[in-house]
A = this chain, B = another copy of it.
Amino acid sequence: MDTSDTDAAQSMPPRERILAAAADLFYRQGIRAIGVDAIVEQAGTNKMTLYRHFASKDELVAEYLQREAASADRIWTDLAARHPNDPLAQLRAWFRDMSDHASSADHRGCALANAAIELPEEDHPARAVVREHKNGTRDRVVKLARAAGMTEPKMLADELFLLLEGARVTAQSVGREGLGARLVRMGEAMIAAHRG
């Protein structure tokens, strides 16, 4: 029995196993709460190998967040494929997907936003990743809203964006019951209020 390296022990190179273990532990338990020893144990490797691939824990954190951001950005190509040439449908599907995700049971907030709260030093390597991703997301929503013919696309994008960001922290701090449905109603109302 055992080989209890929980998840990603098989066949992946150690760098990937470390990243996978870090993603799981950092997200679920918090970046500051997890030490490198816990990561290498779950990754089925050792500290020396970790430090041969990452200059420091901080750089491991930065790469963890970069992958989270890249993974989150994949939604834009998905959206374009699901609703080609229909920016309004893309906008509504985006908000619905994000609402569903924010209110799902295993959700523990946005990994990027949580990291910004856990790491208040503005010059931490992770903070640049967070700023870039959040600004990029906001820009894409503004573009979508404009392409969908919304009046005041920037204002609508801010409303939807802040609403989701608030939902992700609220899901953690108070709970998730009924949050998804309420979110969708609010988002739909805001989109409706911005149609010409």
Residues of chain A from 33 to 56 with CB closer than 8 A to chain B in the complex: 33
Q: Contacts A182-B155, A193-B193: A173 and B120 contacting too (C-beta < 8 A)?
A: no
Residue A30 CB within 8 A of the other chain:
yes
The reply to whether A29 and B165 form a contact with Cβ atoms under 8 Å apart is no
The reply to whether B131 and A175 form a contact with Cβ atoms under 8 Å apart is yes
Copies in the assembly, this chain: 2
Which of A120, A130, A138, A164 has most B Cβ within 10 Å?
Answer: A120
Q: Which of A9-17, A74-82, A107-115, A141-149 contacts B (4 or more CB under 8 A)?
A: A107-115
Instruction: Provide the residues of chain B in CB contact with A166, threshold 8 Å.
Output: 161-167, 169
Residue A170 CB within 8 A of the other chain:
yes
The reply to whether A170 and B120 form a contact with Cβ atoms under 8 Å apart is no
Among B32, B138, B174, point to the contact of A30 (Cβ < 8 A).
B32
The reply to whether A116 and B173 form a contact with Cβ atoms under 8 Å apart is yes
CB distance from A30 to the nearest CB of B (A): 6
The reply to whether A29 and B120 form a contact with Cβ atoms under 8 Å apart is yes
Please give the residue numbers on chain A whose beta carbons come within 8 Å of chain B beta carbons, in ascending order.
28-30, 32-33, 108-109, 112-114, 116-120, 130-131, 134-135, 138, 155, 158-159, 161-167, 169-170, 172-175, 182-183, 185-186, 189, 193
